[in-house]
Amino acid sequence: MLQHHQYQRLIKIAKVSVLLLTTVFIFYKLVYRYKINSLFYEFSESDHTASLFYLVFALLLVFFNWGIESYKWQRLILKYEKLSFKSAFKAVLSGVSLSIITPNQIGDFAGRVIHLQVLNKIKGSLVTVIGHTAQVLVTCFFGLFAVWHLLLRSDAGILAVHKININTGLVNFDAGYGHYFIPVFFIFLSLLAVWLYLNLQYVYIYLRRFHWVIKFEKYIEVFGAYKSKELSIILFISFLRYLVFLLQYYLLLLFFDVHIQFLTAISCIVATFCIQSMVPSFFLLEIGLRGASALWFFGMFSTHTSGILMAAYSLWIINMMMPALLGMWFIYKVRS
């Protein structure tokens, strides 16, 4: 009995420690590492009352963003465990809290599965992988074309397609071929990835042929549990959430006076999301990556550096930091 009491006490101390360390770490990185306070001060010197609507709308969309993600995770988990939307929402925000202090957001898996009562935690994490993969596919599908489109418009010589000349010894891709080969390759790669995702059950059946896979079959069988129609719905839900992200980013650009033609701005946003999803992140270095990648693309069309950085950082603050603070409370309230 005493050991159980000590265990409960240690768990409580660990929860409080995570809560405090995460909070301190967030504000330390934001204020001292990325100087967000000085950017906000520079921005506050001018009157932005007229554009306040954009910020308010972007803030309200946070509920749609994480609401959609919670619904997506709930649909995936329901195959194994009855989970209410409220519980799914708490689990998702708990995952956000742990994701921002762990490499490549791996804490997201732990944060979610601690709310599960029936499903094995490892299988729960793998189910989460299925949901994450759908989001990455959507991001990269549109992002690859956006990146290529922007490189075509770039004045950076070696990046412009009309400068590309690749001699493999067998085929010489000059400007004429370059215009067609890379987009076609992107289309093929994207369609292949989507097909593999929609046919996970067949991929699982194929992998079962290998002896080393059988050892983990009780866990990875989750990849064979979802049919193409179910995964199509997950992809569509991920696409809806992606649209919310795009709208939020564009609204923040308008609020911070970064005025770029609409389609160009969307291309830059899509390309930025793509780069962020592909580059591994470690701890809160992710927010620095957001600023750097945003400047790289938006900098082609605007010299308003502080506005570009503020839009990128603000998107992270309202979509990650604010939900993470709430998620820490949910983690604290989880029964040990």
Instruction: Specify the pairing of strand 166-167 against strand 172-173.
Output: antiparallel
Assigned domain for 146 exists = yes
Domain that holds residue 284: 17-333
CA angle 154, 157, 162 (to 5 degrees): 80
| Residue 9 included in any domain | no
**What per-residue confidence (pLDDT) applies to 134?**
95
Number of domains in the chain: 1
HSE on the CB side for 63, CA within 13 Å? 5
The reply to whether 42 falls in a domain is yes
Residue 1 resides in a domain: no
CA 330 to chain centre: 21
Which pLDDT does position 214 carry in this prediction?
72
Is residue 294 a part of any domain in this protein? yes
In angstroms, the CA 92 to CA 135 distance is: 14
pLDDT tens-digit series, residues 230-258: 999 999 999 999 999 999 999 999 999 89
Across the chain, mean pLDDT equals 79
C-beta separation of 112 from 94 below 8 A: yes
pTM equals: 0.82
What's the confidence (pLDDT) of residue 234? 96
Token digits for 140? Answer: 């990269």
Give the pLDDT confidence score for residue 336 in this predicted structure: 54
Whether 22 is in a domain gets the answer yes
Q: According to the model, what pLDDT value does residue 3 have?
A: 56
- Residues 88 and 73: their CA atoms lie apart, in Å, by 7
* Residue 80 within any structural domain of the chain: yes
| Beta strand residue intervals within the chain, DSSP E | 166-167, 172-173
Would you say residue 5 lies in a domain? no
Q: How confident is the model at residue 76 (pLDDT cuts 50, 70, 90)?
A: very high
Average pLDDT value for residue range 109-124: 86
Nearest to 96 by CA among 79, 108, 82: 108
User: What one-letter code names the amino acid at 319?
Assistant: N
For residue 51, is pLDDT > 50? yes
Structure-block tokens of residue 279: 């580059």
Q: Which tens digit of pLDDT belongs to each residue from 127-168?
A: 999 999 999 999 998 988 888 777 776 644 334 443 444 344
Residue 170 has pLDDT above 50, yes or no: no
Burial class for 277, CB neighbours closer than 10 Å (0-12, 13-18, 19+) = middle
Contact 250, 269 (CB under 8 A): yes
